[in-house]
Amino acid sequence: MYDVLIIGCGITGAAAACQLSRYRLKVAVLERENDVSAGTTKANSAILHAGYDPEPGSLMAKLNVRGAALAKELCARLDVPYRPCGSLVLAFSDQDDQMVRTLCQRGLANGVPGVEVLTGDQARTMDPNLSPQVTSALWAPSAAICSPWEYCLALAETAVRNGADLHLETAVTGLERQAEGWLVRTGRGEFYARYVLNAAGVSAQEVHQMAAPKTFTIHPSRGQYFLLDKCEGDRVGHVIFQCPGPSGKGVLVAPTVHGNLIVGPDAGPVEGNDVSTTGEGLGFVRRTALKSVPSINFRESIRNFAGVRAASDRGDFIIEFAAPGFLDLAGICSPGLTAAPAIAEYAARLLAEDGLALEEKENFLCQRRRIKFHHLSPADKAALVAREPAYGRVICRCETVTEGEILEALRGPIPPRSVDGVKRRVGAGMGRCQGGFCGPRVVELLARERGVSPGAIVQDRAGSWLLAAQTKGGTDHV
């Protein structure tokens, strides 16, 4: 019997697991995919929002600012790439100017530090490539960027190091209330828990209705992006927004912590977890972004991708008990990445108020350091290679990722099971060639370390096969 069982290991579930692993509790996380951060968390804008956008008094407003402060601390402790670059919301008309002033007042009401309205000239002084048509801008210095999948992995690894159980490829198929808690049925057996946390993202409505009558609807919204090469990474120095609208915060232009430029997203309804991209959607993103930064060179695009957000009909985070011992953490769309650690704190408080004893561990471990070969000094590189020769073999030439770094990930608390799982941990395949050179070697290392055939290795999710062999019975993947 677990004390708490969490369904879903995106950023919300990982943060909840990390928070609860502080206490003398038996905690488990069930994730239907073959890795953590496999849904919305790996495909978003990577922005830690300042907190001026949510309506004052909403859960989004209360948890955004707190989450931003916690994220800064956690990224430092857990060695997650983080850059406090600040954000600008641009105005292009009198109506936009009024919206910028409204957002500033909203930010002050929400407790966002340092927000102020700038003139167009002041904004261009900060970011010279902004459009000459910008009339004013909201400056929010506390906004930041991070690596969302590394953030999620670091939180999940912290939970595992502190005793939480993580079950990957374990989809929940049913829930049944029993005298002492919940029976959770999955494709890999049954689990019992006193409390269940529903952090299933786009599938949160489906999971909720296994336990309680319908009280909200998830409306999946797809956002499409361009990722540009590092030669465009200095095009802007801050996160550049346009004034938000009914569909969200709009198309942004921002640097990434890895040195690239990200542009997007659009917003449109989709069925389920459809992450395909469309010419129409990407064309809209391109046209809209050029209004903010006319000099973006989209010929340097190295990847297009899409993510699906779990927007709900409530217009706010849904963090409440839906049944005895069943707590929804649903409708966690933007600013969910920012708010995640504050959502976890809030959920723990609700569990404590419901009777769960939270006794802190004396030996809770919340520290993580990774070897990043590319960032070492020449002397440190030489010493490391002399001690561990695998660090002297460069696998990914674009990002200078070594075999030693990949092996460290493959032997870590949550080993990757796919090529993209390796990419999310160490960056192999993130460069200009997008894995064209290093991919085969990564497959070889994955197969060797996992003790399987190269044909069993997938690109990302289950079924995304890379290799096939012709046999007498047809085509086989193993």
Task: Provide the phi-psi class of 427: left if phi over 0, else alpha when psi is between -120 and 50, else beta.
Answer: left
H or E stretch covering 474: strand 474-476
Task: Please confirm, yes or no, whether 208 is among the known catalytic residues.
Answer: no
| Beta-carbon contacts of residue 364 (< 8 Å; ≥ 6 apart) | 21, 22, 162
Alpha carbon distances (Å) from 164 to 14, 109, 159: 11, 38, 5
What would the DSSP string read from start to end of 260-318? -EEEE---EE-STT-----HHHHHHHHHHHHHH-TT--GGGEEEEEEEEEEEETTSS-E
What is the three-class DSSP state of 140? Answer: strand
Contacts 24+ apart (CB under 8 A), 399-406: 399/374, 399/427, 399/428, 399/429, 399/430, 399/431, 400/373, 400/374, 401/373, 401/374, 401/426, 401/427, 401/428, 401/438, 402/373, 403/445, 404/371, 404/373, 405/370, 405/371, 405/372, 405/373, 406/442, 406/445
The SS3 of residue 225 is: strand
Nearest Cα neighbor of 201 from 152, 250, 157, 154 is 152
Which residues have a catalytic role annotated?
49
